[in-house]
Amino acid sequence: MPDLFIGLMSGTSLDGVDGVLVDFSPDAPLVIEHASAPFPPDLRAELLALNTPGENELHRAALAGNGLMRVYADVVATLLRSARVAPGTVTAIGAHGQTVRHRPQEFDGTGYTLQLCQPALLAELSGIDVVADFRSRDVAAGGQGAPLAPFFHQGRFGRRGETVGVLNIGGISNLTLLRADGSMLGFDCGPGNSLMDAWCSLHTGQPYDDQGAWAASGRPVPALLEALRAEPYFAKAPPKSTGRDLFNKEWLRYKLLPFGSLAPEDVQATLAELTAAACAADVLRLQPGLRRLIVCGGGALNTHLMRRLRALLPDTGVNSSADDGLPPLQVEATAFAWLARRTVRREKLELESTTGARGARVLGCIYPA
């Protein structure tokens, strides 16, 4: 009997939605179908704008959430049509929503993480149970609310008796260390593609630097790299998580101020180096001698970035998750299908080692169809 779930992820790159239809009945989850959809330009601009304080946010956030659900519902329809599967055969959809603020454990000591989502609308549009709001229980239990994919990485990429690293390079980058003794650690390293995307779009009009070719045409500026790496987040010990709240265009603009005019391609090369160097430094600090690093997220498609990671981690085999049977752009969406299944089954996750939450909890909230 198939055990079908859908996972939907729209991450901090704000490039659109990735969706997967997954069968969990085999030993390794089987992705039956993958579909993605870009955001309509107005919705993308609004979601991006909602990442920073602005006018009439409650109203705008509610409407942006509705708009996001319509894109989610289109992706669900595409998945079902391509796989020739009826909605009634899918147990649930795991819908991440769009993170617009991430300030766990701040302000009043609890803080918050906010993913725009209207799960009731998605249940209405799709006719399938929806699981959403995966992060807030973790924050309520004293955790960072992120990253959550490490729990999925453990089951999918972990190898008995071997230490394996999984590096997701999305808008933000996060590292999972699956240790040979069965323990694990997961945290956000810092920026992934988001600063490179912003700079690339500003100077070339392209949404991202295809294969990192533009970055490869420039030369990193050592003093700028040093100034960027001086950001205290990089030296903090895990558990830790971050987002566009810190690493955004304004942050970059401020750091660039003392440098006057630099060649745009050299800045792009420096931003690529920042991502590679921050991730590599975390590996070297926390798991020196790591033999296998599996890279997922859109950054795995950036040839220049992968080349720089390999150069900075000469003792580590650095490969795309595609080599382990799961293409880089399907990993996070599959993680949210997997997390939804855990919610439906009321299975707790051992959160402490990753998010720093006080104990094991069931994450997510169910909206029946």
Ligand X SMILES: Nc1ncnc2c1ncn2[C@@H]1O[C@H](COP(=O)(O)OP(=O)(O)OP(=O)(O)O)[C@@H](O)[C@H]1O
Buried b (16+ CB within 10 A) or exposed e, 178-214: beeeeebbbbbbbbbbbbbbbbbeeeeeebbbeebeb
- Distances 83 to 2, 6, 80, 108, 164 between C-alpha atoms, Å: 13, 12, 5, 47, 33
243 touches, from ligand X, ligand AH0, none (C-beta below 5 to 8 Å by class) = ligand AH0
Closest CB to ligand X among residues 11, 364: 11
Output the smallest distance, CB 171 to ligand AH0, in A: 6
Sign for the pseudo-dihedral over CA of 26, 29, 30, 32: positive
Any binding-site annotation on 18? yes
241 touches, from ligand X, ligand AH0, none (C-beta below 5 to 8 Å by class) = ligand AH0
Q: Tokens 């599959």 belong to which residue?
A: 334
Stretch that binds ligand X, among 45-53, 55-63, 202-210, 354-362 (CB under 6 A): 202-210
Output the smallest distance, CB 79 to ligand X, in A: 17
Coil, strand, or helix at residue 298?
helix
210 touches, from ligand X, ligand AH0, none (C-beta below 5 to 8 Å by class) = ligand X
φ/ψ of residue 114, rounded to 5? -125, 115
For 231-313, where are the alpha helices, taking DSSP H only?
Answer: 249-256, 264-286, 303-312
Closest CA to 137 of 367, 369, 359: 359
15 touches, from ligand AH0, ligand X, none (C-beta below 5 to 8 Å by class) = ligand X
For the chain, where are the alpha helices, taking DSSP H only?
Answer: 41-49, 57-83, 119-126, 136-140, 149-157, 194-204, 213-216, 222-229, 249-256, 264-286, 303-312, 331-344, 352-355
Structure tokens at 134: 């995966």
Straight-line distance from the first to the last Cα atom of the chain, in angstroms, rounded to the nearest whole number: 22
Alpha-carbon distance of 2 to 320, in angstroms, equals: 28
Residue 298 is a binding residue for ligand X (CB under 6 A) = yes
Closest CB to ligand X among residues 91, 242: 242
Site string for ligand X, 161-200 (x = CB under 6 A): -------x-xxx-------------------xx---x---
Closest CB to ligand AH0 among residues 216, 274: 274
Any binding-site annotation on 267? no
Are the CB atoms for 148 and 174 separated by under 8 Å? no
Residue 145 is a binding residue for ligand X (CB under 6 A) = no
Which residue ranges make up the site for ligand AH0 (CB under 6 A)? Answer: 11-12, 99, 102, 113, 146-149, 170-172, 174, 188, 241, 243, 332
Closest CB to ligand X among residues 123, 333: 333
Closest CB to ligand X among residues 46, 332: 332
Stretch that binds ligand X, among 9-17, 221-229, 286-294, 319-327 (CB under 6 A): 9-17
301 touches, from ligand AH0, ligand X, none (C-beta below 5 to 8 Å by class) = ligand X
Any binding-site annotation on 343? no
Residue 3 is a binding residue for ligand X (CB under 6 A) = no
| From candidates 129, 133, 324, 332, binder to ligand X by CB under 6 A | 332
Alpha-carbon distance of 32 to 330, in angstroms, equals: 11
Strands 164-169 and 292-296: parallel
Residue 301 is a binding residue for ligand X (CB under 6 A) = yes
| From candidates 4, 5, 7, 11, binder to ligand X by CB under 6 A | 11
Closest CB to ligand AH0 among residues 195, 216: 195
Closest CB to ligand AH0 among residues 12, 126: 12
Residue 289 Rama label (left phi>0; alpha psi -120 to 50; beta): left
Any binding-site annotation on 11? yes
Residue 265 is a binding residue for ligand X (CB under 6 A) = no
Q: What is the greatest pairwise CA distance in the chain?
A: 63
| Annotation: binding site for ATP | 11-18
Binding site for ligand X (CB under 6 A): 9, 11-13, 15, 168, 170-172, 192-193, 197, 208-212, 297-299, 301-302, 329, 332
